[in-house]
Amino acid sequence: QTLFSQAGDIAGVGVDTELITAVPTSETFRQRNFTQSEIDYCSSAPDPIASFAGRWAAKEAIFKALSVPSKGAGASMKEIEIVNTESGPEVKLSGEAETAAGGKKIKVSLSHSDTSVVAFAVAQ
């Protein structure tokens, strides 16, 4: 073990998997946890339910990668935004999530099959 963290050190990793049918689909849940541009993006996706579920898993994975003690079901995930770009998903943090990240860079990827979603994130 090293005493000091160095440039290039991985600070944390996070993985999340969900059955697509297990992710809430209510407007309350979506408004609470997704930004308006995420809602617009997922709502117009070919399969909105899977799209919301994938982004939800991505947020959970990023939350784990940040290694912050969980605040439980009460925490909103809106401060962790997944931005779609031509070269894949990018992460935009705000509020407490941005503070928790402390300048660390986050990479995320997500995937879904017909039944489940998996997302992975790394903080460096």
Residues making contact with a copy of itself (CB under 8 A): 1-2, 6-10, 12-19, 22, 60-61, 64-65, 67-69, 86-88, 103, 105, 107-122, 124
CB of 24 to a copy of itself, least distance (A): 14
Whichever of 30 and 64 has its CB closer to a copy of itself, that residue is 64
Residues in the chain, total = 124
Residue 89 CA from chain centroid, whole number: 10
Whichever of 42 and 91 has its CB closer to a copy of itself, that residue is 91
Measured N-to-C along each axis, helices 48-65 and 36-43 cross at an angle, to the nearest 10 degrees, of: 140
Whichever of 39 and 118 has its CB closer to a copy of itself, that residue is 118
Give how far Cα 12 sits from Cα of 30, 31, 32, Å. 27, 28, 26
CB of 123 to a copy of itself, least distance (A): 9
